[in-house]
Chain A
Amino acid sequence: MSDAPQILAEWARVYRELGYWPRPITIGSRACHVSGWQKPDAEIPAAELASWLTKYGPLGIGLLLGSPFPDSTTLGALDGDHNDYMRVARELLRDPPCGRIGKRGAVFFVRVRGRLSNPEFRVAGKGDKVAECLFTKKLCVIPPTIHPDTERPYQWMGRPLHEIDFRELPIVEMGDA
């Protein structure tokens, strides 16, 4: 047994029991360590899901977005690298209970209702991407994974996601967007 912290082994069980879809993250990157990670857990054999915990125990952990909640919404994240925009986003979402910070900007976790897509937001006339929605088939690295640039763990903003009742998360209404 290695002395390295068993980040995936320790936390994937917790998130899986809550209905989330944890994925192994390659150390020193933000990329998923396995192929086919975009499939929902229900489409991955249970044995394979279980094997990740033993094979990739020390790796980082990310969540595949789009996992369903009992109220028919799904897990999503609003991700932006600009602190100014994320300050506005925080007000827009009425001070969401759970976010995650890495090197700059922030990610806020939300419930998503309606047709799923991953809109990107660019300022009109400039083309700079200021934020994006991670709502389906996207990955969000979560603490205590080590950030590849800062070499320090990602941090929770507010309470950790596993301590949050899903009903506490704000809803983003997609409509027919």
Chain B
Amino acid sequence: MPDNQTVVSIGLIREVFTSEFTPQLFGGVDTHEPALRLVAQLVRYTLDDNLIESVVAPAMPEAYSGDTLAELPRMIADARKKGFDKTAPKRAEFEMTESGLVFFKLTGKSVIPTDVSDPLEILGLVRDAKSARWARLLRWRDADGNEHEFIASDKQLLSDHDVVCGDMAEQGLRISKGQQGNLARYISASKTDVRITLVNRIGWHGIGERDIFVLPSQVIGNPPSRVIYEANDKRHEDYSVRGTLSDWRHAVSIPAGQHPLPTLAISASLTGPLLHLAGLESGGIHLFGNSSTGKTTLLKLAASVWGNANLVRSWRATGNGLEVIANQTSDVSLILDELGQLDSKDAATALYMLASGVGKIRMTQSATLQDIKTWRAFILSSGEMTVEAKITQLRGAKAYAGATLRLLNVGADRGLGFGVFDNAGPTGDVRDLVNAFAAAAALAYGVAGPEFVRALISRALESAAIQNAIDHFVQSNVEHDASGQVVRAAKRFGLIATAGELATEFGITGWLPGTAAAAAAAAFKKWVEVRGGDGKEPAEDRAAIRQVTELIVRYGESRFDELDERGFNVEPAWNGDSEGSSPPPPRPAVIRLGWRKYEGEKRIWMIEDAVWESEFCRGFDPVQVSRALERHEMLKCAKGRFTYAERFQDKRNKRFHIITAKVLTSDYDRTPEDEPDDNDGVPERPGRPSY
């Protein structure tokens, strides 16, 4: 439907209705004089002569047969010639006419109209949700008739109007040379009751006590006033829409529902909006496996929930770059391909940063805090290696459980010979299936996610309902005595299941109820397998035991001096049977970690406190390491202590951390029976053990 281009100023309407000459025309008698005077009043409000004629003419009765109508063009021309149109309107020194903005300059007793710019509209006052960054939203059409909207900052209008006007001119607004100041003054002085809220990230926003959801191309919910998403990037088209929900459901979702991993990817992509509603932290899943198994296809399916395939971003970015991407994908899904491309030294930091939902703190040039970027990201990542492998690529780096629990590893090969799929599809060639999914995701996209949010808002889904669904998933899939970390991971898979099941309930996916939950449960099982162990031992404890074991396996002989029963160094063996020979010199460890000796038939390794903390417990809490080793009987402890007094150089009172031979034989992936699985960092004994 074409826009109605008619714009009538209230001044012109007022003049027509309040003029004493208008009713004089209604009678149709002696119309010349009132028409002349009315025209003289109207020319100051519009440059459009036709409009003046079309207003004056109908004021005459239908049966009017005089000459006044024919005289109107001359009356208008005379009025302008006599300068009636140069009489400034009483109320404003500016007037926005249909041909543009006019500035009426007072010089002595005369008023000189000056052309300022093409027409522009002031749509409203803009400010952010904190009632700061005030600005005005403007709109105009360029010479080609294309519409432009522009946010002019109040601050810049005052301090730097040449720059603002330059930007506006760049967007096609014609501005007369030297009139930048007048244009800025007109815009700054404009008054309007219309309020517009500016947001700088997509996702959920609380505006006027309502939850609304902002995407670059649409605002979902019912905001009390217009909301504009403003971002420095121009990637709005990534969230574009193609096809209908029905197209997407039939081409993408329903076929994907026949394979657990594609089901998981789509469900995960729908999870972002639930983070806010359920009050959960950021995090995600990482699909890992060999190349050419279909991982990137999974990401494209996930991207189709919200927009086009450009939403699949690359891990190859700096920390700052990732921060910007996360900010752009808040509350939807942050899809990152090829973890291997991330610089190893940035890996752990990037993961923590993405999961924390807060960017770096930066200062402005005036040494005040800049706005800190924030987001809630549900990450869907892919790569050939696991998250742990990526973090530990850098020599000496450790994959702390905190980091790896934020991005959960899911094997991206179903092990059935079809990569991420469970079968080869209708043609029997899995390559056809991959191509078909990629093509479908390119033909229908950008509808499911917004529709999901719309349903969430209309049903006013509460946090408790989401939590209940997650708890149900955890109860169904996790043993009651599993470690806290396993439960935490299960909750994340439960959130994915909840998103998928809700989307099914809302009629979005076309899946049978339970499809998404089954896919999430299978992925959780895979995660437990990749993590190793029985799911009861905290990951930090397993990592700490692995570190101690590695040191003993590598250096248990070479960097430990052997002691005899009394604690003296054992001399090298020499039988003295060779004429003129002498005993070989002692060969102490060059960079000693401790001492070793036999206790009966079994080896023990004795380590001093400083070396224990700096080498064996590096990167871990020594109390936690000791407790984990003790639980597996790998550490010999005195009552109430994590150390033990051993005979050393014939003295009996020197305390060591004593590693037992069990460190080489025990299966620490399994939690010993009847031992508490406590990962709260609080010693089980009263007080902190002394060394």
Chain A residues proximal to chain B, CB less than 8 Å: 40, 42-43, 68, 70-74, 78, 80, 84-85, 87-94, 96-97, 113-116, 119, 121-126, 130-131, 133, 136, 165, 167-177
Given A171-B4, A172-B8: A92 touches B55 (CB 8 Å cut-off)? yes
Distance between A119 CB and nearest chain B CB, rounded to angstroms: 7
Flag whether B312 is at the interface (Cβ < 8 A).
no
Chain A residue contacts of B191, Cβ below 8 A: 114-115, 176
Within B29-79, the residues touching A (CB, 8 Å) are 51, 54-55, 57-59
Flag whether B193 is at the interface (Cβ < 8 A).
yes
Contact between chains at B14 and A121 (CB < 8 Å):
yes
Chain A residue contacts of B210, Cβ below 8 A: 42
- For this complex, 6 residue pairs linking A to B, each with C-beta atoms less than 8 Å apart, are A78-B13, A80-B17, A114-B122, A167-B1, A171-B7, A172-B10
Distance between A40 CB and nearest chain B CB, rounded to angstroms: 7
Flag whether B18 is at the interface (Cβ < 8 A).
yes
Chain A residue contacts of B11, Cβ below 8 A: 175, 177
Within B571-626, the residues touching A (CB, 8 Å) are none
Q: Which stretch in B222-230, B300-308, B490-498 binds the other chain?
A: B222-230
Flag whether B194 is at the interface (Cβ < 8 A).
yes
| CA distance in complex: A124, B58 (Å) | 20
**Residue in B4, B19, B59, B194 whose beta carbon sits within 8 Å of that of A168 in the complex:** B4
Contact between chains at A173 and B16 (CB < 8 Å):
no
Flag whether B508 is at the interface (Cβ < 8 A).
no
Chain B residue contacts of A174, Cβ below 8 A: 10
Contact between chains at A72 and B4 (CB < 8 Å):
no
Q: Which stretch in B20-28, B177-185, B651-659 binds the other chain?
A: B20-28
Contact between chains at B14 and A115 (CB < 8 Å):
no
Chain B residue contacts of A92, Cβ below 8 A: 8, 12-13, 16, 51, 55
Flag whether B124 is at the interface (Cβ < 8 A).
yes
Contact between chains at A123 and B20 (CB < 8 Å):
yes
**Residue in A78, A114, A124 whose beta carbon sits within 8 Å of that of B19 in the complex:** A124
**Residue in B4, B20, B55, B192 whose beta carbon sits within 8 Å of that of A114 in the complex:** B192
Distance between B310 CB and nearest chain A CB, rounded to angstroms: 26
Contact between chains at A176 and B4 (CB < 8 Å):
no
Chain A residue contacts of B51, Cβ below 8 A: 92, 94
Closest residue on chain B to residue A70 by CB atoms:
B226
Chain B residue contacts of A85, Cβ below 8 A: 17, 22
Chain B residues proximal to chain A, CB less than 8 Å: 1-4, 6-14, 16-20, 22-23, 26, 51, 54-55, 57-59, 91-92, 95-96, 121-124, 137, 139, 189-194, 196, 208, 210, 222-226
With a 10 A CB-CB cut-off, give which of A121, A131, A171, A173 has the most chain B CB atoms. A173
Contact between chains at B4 and A119 (CB < 8 Å):
no
Contact between chains at B194 and A72 (CB < 8 Å):
yes
Contact between chains at A93 and B10 (CB < 8 Å):
no
Given A93-B8, A168-B4, A171-B4: A42 touches B54 (CB 8 Å cut-off)? no
**Residue in B16, B91, B190, B194 whose beta carbon sits within 8 Å of that of A88 in the complex:** B16
Contact between chains at B222 and A177 (CB < 8 Å):
no
Distance between B79 CB and nearest chain A CB, rounded to angstroms: 18
Contact between chains at B13 and A172 (CB < 8 Å):
yes
| CA distance in complex: A114, B192 (Å) | 5
Closest residue on chain A to residue B196 by CB atoms:
A72
**Residue in A91, A125, A165, A175 whose beta carbon sits within 8 Å of that of B54 in the complex:** A91
**Residue in B1, B23, B137, B189 whose beta carbon sits within 8 Å of that of A165 in the complex:** B1
| CA distance in complex: A170, B95 (Å) | 18
| CA distance in complex: A174, B91 (Å) | 12
Contact between chains at B22 and A173 (CB < 8 Å):
no
**Residue in A88, A115, A131, A170 whose beta carbon sits within 8 Å of that of B58 in the complex:** A88
Contact between chains at A171 and B6 (CB < 8 Å):
yes
Contact between chains at A87 and B58 (CB < 8 Å):
yes
| CA distance in complex: A91, B8 (Å) | 11
The secondary structure that dominates the A interface is mixed
Given A113-B121, A114-B191, A126-B20: A94 touches B9 (CB 8 Å cut-off)? no
Contact between chains at B224 and A115 (CB < 8 Å):
no
Distance between B146 CB and nearest chain A CB, rounded to angstroms: 15
Contact between chains at B18 and A121 (CB < 8 Å):
yes
Given A92-B12, A171-B4, A175-B96: A124 touches B55 (CB 8 Å cut-off)? no
Closest residue on chain B to residue A125 by CB atoms:
B20
Contact between chains at A84 and B59 (CB < 8 Å):
yes
Chain A residue contacts of B3, Cβ below 8 A: 167-168
| CA distance in complex: A124, B122 (Å) | 31
Chain B residue contacts of A133, Cβ below 8 A: 10
| CA distance in complex: A99, B224 (Å) | 27
Distance between A21 CB and nearest chain B CB, rounded to angstroms: 12
Chain A residue contacts of B22, Cβ below 8 A: 85, 88, 123
Contact between chains at A173 and B8 (CB < 8 Å):
yes
Contact between chains at B8 and A124 (CB < 8 Å):
no
Chain B residue contacts of A84, Cβ below 8 A: 23, 26, 59
Contact between chains at B91 and A173 (CB < 8 Å):
no
Closest 4 CB pairs of A and B: A121-B17, A72-B123, A170-B6, A42-B224
**Residue in B57, B92, B224 whose beta carbon sits within 8 Å of that of A175 in the complex:** B92
| CA distance in complex: A113, B9 (Å) | 10
**Residue in B14, B55, B57, B123 whose beta carbon sits within 8 Å of that of A71 in the complex:** B123
Contact between chains at A177 and B91 (CB < 8 Å):
yes
Contact between chains at B58 and A119 (CB < 8 Å):
no
| CA distance in complex: A136, B92 (Å) | 22
Given contact pairs A91-B54, A91-B58, a sample of 7 additional A-B residue pairs in the complex whose CB atoms are under 8 Å apart: A42-B210, A94-B54, A114-B192, A119-B10, A123-B18, A169-B4, A175-B91
Contact between chains at B18 and A175 (CB < 8 Å):
no
| CA distance in complex: A40, B121 (Å) | 24
Contact between chains at B18 and A124 (CB < 8 Å):
yes
| CA distance in complex: A88, B96 (Å) | 22
Distance between A19 CB and nearest chain B CB, rounded to angstroms: 9
| CA distance in complex: A116, B92 (Å) | 17
Chain B residue contacts of A121, Cβ below 8 A: 13-14, 17-18
Contact between chains at A173 and B10 (CB < 8 Å):
yes
Chain B residue contacts of A131, Cβ below 8 A: 17
Closest residue on chain A to residue B62 by CB atoms:
A87
Distance between B31 CB and nearest chain A CB, rounded to angstroms: 13
With a 10 A CB-CB cut-off, give which of A80, A90, A130, A176 has the most chain B CB atoms. A176
| CA distance in complex: A172, B208 (Å) | 28
Distance between B441 CB and nearest chain A CB, rounded to angstroms: 30
Chain B residue contacts of A94, Cβ below 8 A: 4, 6, 8, 51, 54
**Residue in B9, B20, B59, B224 whose beta carbon sits within 8 Å of that of A173 in the complex:** B9
Chain A residue contacts of B1, Cβ below 8 A: 165, 167-168
Chain B residue contacts of A68, Cβ below 8 A: 194, 225-226
Chain A residue contacts of B9, Cβ below 8 A: 172-173, 175
Contact between chains at B226 and A90 (CB < 8 Å):
no
Contact between chains at B222 and A42 (CB < 8 Å):
yes
Chain A residue contacts of B189, Cβ below 8 A: 176
Distance between B54 CB and nearest chain A CB, rounded to angstroms: 5
With a 10 A CB-CB cut-off, give which of B10, B92, B122, B223 has the most chain A CB atoms. B10
| CA distance in complex: A136, B192 (Å) | 13
**Residue in A43, A88, A125, A136 whose beta carbon sits within 8 Å of that of B59 in the complex:** A88
Given A122-B18, A167-B1: A91 touches B57 (CB 8 Å cut-off)? yes
